[in-house]
């Protein structure tokens, strides 16, 4: 009986994700948490719905885990023999805006080892890891 109730609560927690305008994406960041983001919002800075400690933490895990970003860009995002630093303010080929970071992770850069969706991360994981990179490079989070 108690378990059944807990399950009901979890289902309700996911429901608000449905009622959002635009093209939205449910960012699953834990069993009972979901964050919905309009993926058409690609500004210079991440949408405020993304810029939360929960999303940044999730992005950090992707960077050091499934995305394998750390292997080329370094544990502290300081770069290495293979890839450039991701801490700004200067960048190799992008302007450091959220939109540019996002595009590079989505599309990679042809002719380099920067692949689209490194580690085969999902679109929602691209958004989370891009938010993390933006936050670190703009002094909003630690690596
Ligand atoms: C196999 C190595 C490798 C992996 C893994 C990798 N990258 Fe890269 N990345 C590169 C290289 C090399 C470049 C530089 C491409 C160029 O010449 O502009 C790059 C460029 C970038 C840039 C643009 C930097 C700039 O100054 O132009 C961003 C942002 C970026 N990577 C983010 C990520 C993220 C986030 C991940 C993980 C999801 C990741 N990368 C995984 C090798 C890698």
The tens digit of pLDDT for each residue in 71-118 reads 999 999 999 999 999 999 999 999 999 999 999 999 999 999 999 999
Distance from residue 53's CA to the centre of ligand 1 (Å): 23
Q: What angle do CA 18, 24, 28 make, to 5 degrees?
A: 75
Give the pLDDT band of residue 26 (cuts 50, 70, 90): low
User: Ligand 1 atom closest to Cα of 100?
Assistant: 29
**Is the model's pLDDT at 18 over the cut of 50?**
no
Cis peptide, bond prior to residue 89, ω within 30 of zero? yes
Single out the residue of 32, 59, 42, 23 nearest to residue 135, CA to CA. 59
Give the pLDDT band of residue 34 (cuts 50, 70, 90): low
| pLDDT computed for residue 10 by the predictor | 47
50 near 39, Cβ under 8 Å? Answer: no
User: CA-CA distance, 115 to 105, in Å (whole number)?
Assistant: 8
Give the largest Cα separation in the chain, rounded. Answer: 58
- How much is the mean pLDDT over the chain? 83
Give the dihedral of Cα atoms 56, 18, 41, 139; nearest 10 deg: -10
Instruction: Confirm or reject: Cβ of 72 under 6 Å from ligand 1.
Output: yes
Report the Cα 2 to chain-centroid distance in Å: 35
Q: What angle do CA 89, 92, 94 make, to 5 degrees?
A: 75
Distance from residue 62's CA to the centre of ligand 1 (Å): 14
Residue nearest atom 36 in ligand 1 by C-alpha distance: 69
User: CA-CA distance, 83 to 112, in Å (whole number)?
Assistant: 10
Give the pLDDT band of residue 20 (cuts 50, 70, 90): very low
């Amino acid at each position: 009986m108690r378990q059944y109730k807990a399950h009901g609560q979890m289902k309700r927690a996911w429901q608000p994700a449905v009622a959002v305008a635009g093209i939205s994406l449910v960012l699953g960041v834990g069993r009972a948490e979901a964050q919905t983001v309009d993926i058409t919002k690609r500004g210079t800075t991440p949408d405020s719905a993304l810029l939360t400690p929960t999303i940044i933490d999730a992005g950090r895990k992707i960077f050091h885990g499934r995305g394998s970003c750390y292997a080329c860009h370094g544990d502290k995002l300081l770069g290495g023999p293979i890839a450039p630093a991701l801490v700004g303010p200067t960048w190799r080929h992008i302007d450091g805006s959220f939109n540019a970071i996002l595009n590079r992770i989505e599309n990679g850069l042809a002719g380099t080892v920067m692949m689209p969706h490194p580690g085969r991360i999902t679109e929602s994981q691209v958004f989370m890891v891009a938010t993390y990179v933006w936050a670190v490079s703009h002094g909003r989070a630690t690596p």
